[in-house]
Amino acid sequence: MDPIKQSSSELVFTVRRQKAELLAPAKPTPRETKLLSDIDDQEGLRFQIPVINFYRKDSSMGGNDPVKVIKKAIVETLVFYYPFAGRLREGNGRKLMVDCTSEGVMFVEADADVTLEQFGDELQPPFPCLEELLYDLPGSAGVLNCPLLLIQVTRLRCGGFIFALRLNHTMSDAPGLVQFMTAVGEMARGASAPSTLPVWCRESLNARNPPQVTCTHHEYDEVPDTKGTIIPLDDMVHKSFFFGPSEVSALRRFLPPHLRKCSTFELLTSVLWRCRTISLNPDPEEEVRVLCIVNARSRFNPPLPNGYYGNAFAFPVAVTTAAKLCKNPLGYALELVKNTKSDVTEEYMKSVADLMVMKGRPHFTVVRTYLVSDVTRAGFGEVDFGWGKAVYGGPAKGGVGAIPGVASFYIPFRNKNGENGIVVPICLPAFAMEIFVKELDSMLKSDDAPVISTNYSIIRPAL
């Protein structure tokens, strides 16, 4: 049972890109200013998030060129999603708004001298030559006054292609982005309008008047980095870990019987948070946090409208000391994680929006923090431009965000043995990754009755 499946990161190939162009909506669209919500425009979402989908050749598509098909579909979709063709401006109180200018989204056409098969049996992060497959056009990555989407379609030598996208996260969360990508896929397959029409309605997630913080939000605590524990950016290692049915069963054995029916998300989050903390070896008495992204769409009464594509999630947090997390049985971490998810209610979301306005839109806490986002049900891999579902669809890498190394995604994945499971990209300094791998392996490969490690005396190597 080896959960560590590194992608063919040694693979090197050449990507030839055409000059980037702006794709504007196919028809005239309203020239107006649309305010983002007070959930959208918090500091922790002011970054670009990369997504990548790989597609096989489909002989039924004949001589259709995926670049031409997708380009045409994008301009048609932008008629409905015209705010994406605008630019962000900042007003009083750092309030973000979309100036619907119809300037367009950035589009790059490319060809790569590589086949899909050369990427290996199992497509998963880290992807080789990612910076070539999703090229960072100089001057395009700012939050304000820049394209809100960058899309690159790269043809492969085998007839397959790669659809890569970079989104300004203040505009949408994972469900919102998948909604847009699905609409592009529908238009590419001949639809005259998306099956789900976009709904703006961002005022639903605005602060109240007057704002009043009614819930506890430790996810926004101001924590000084007294001991230099924000992860260093040099010497970072990216690896992916696969958790199929056998791996999940092996980890469940570490839980007492009354907790074994927990969700896979809760189990993996508890295990990874604990292993990661052991690997980074913070001061035993210092606080450590795990932030669990929770989609709040259904937690409103009535629920947010179908078609809402703004950010509609919270970062509820579990907090404990490093010593308690690492020395207690796994059930301790699990109970903390389980409790966080139930925190998110309509009132909680309103309280977050109020906090944003009252405190100047703070960034969530990053000191000694691990953030996890479950996109197993988001539907990235279901997006079909006419060539069928993606071979891989989802986040392009782990560790993204304003503070690299903090975040992991749970991505649906089928391994080469045909097992369905979850792949999790992890980003850690090299010294910590070695310890993380050993700690996780010891849990997965323990044949005896599980013995909970209390080995929390690993010496931190000199950085």
Neighbours of 144 (CB within 10 A): 11
Q: Which tokens belong to 310? A: 């703004």
Q: Are 356 and 42 a contacting pair, CB within 8 Å?
A: yes
Q: Is 238 a catalytic residue?
A: no
Distance (Å, rounded) from C-alpha 44 to C-alpha 263? 27
Alpha-carbon distances, residue 215 vs 178, 297, 340, 343 (angstroms): 30, 18, 13, 9
- Angle at which helix 430-444 crosses helix 264-280, to 10 degrees, equals 130
Q: Which tokens belong to 421? A: 């499971």
Q: Is 363 a catalytic residue?
A: no
Set 38, 40, 354, 384: catalytic member: 384
Distance (Å, rounded) from C-alpha 89 to C-alpha 393? 31
Neighbours of 361 (CB within 10 A): 20
- Angle at which helix 264-280 crosses helix 245-252, to 10 degrees, equals 70
Dihedral angle computed from the Cα positions of residues 416, 417, 419 and 420, in that order, rounded to the nearest 10 degrees: 10
Which residue, 40, 141, 48, 142, is CA-closest to 97?
40
Set 38, 41, 169, 374: catalytic member: 169
Radius of gyration of the chain from Cα atoms? Answer: 22
Q: Which tokens belong to 116? A: 């899909």
Active site residues: 169, 384
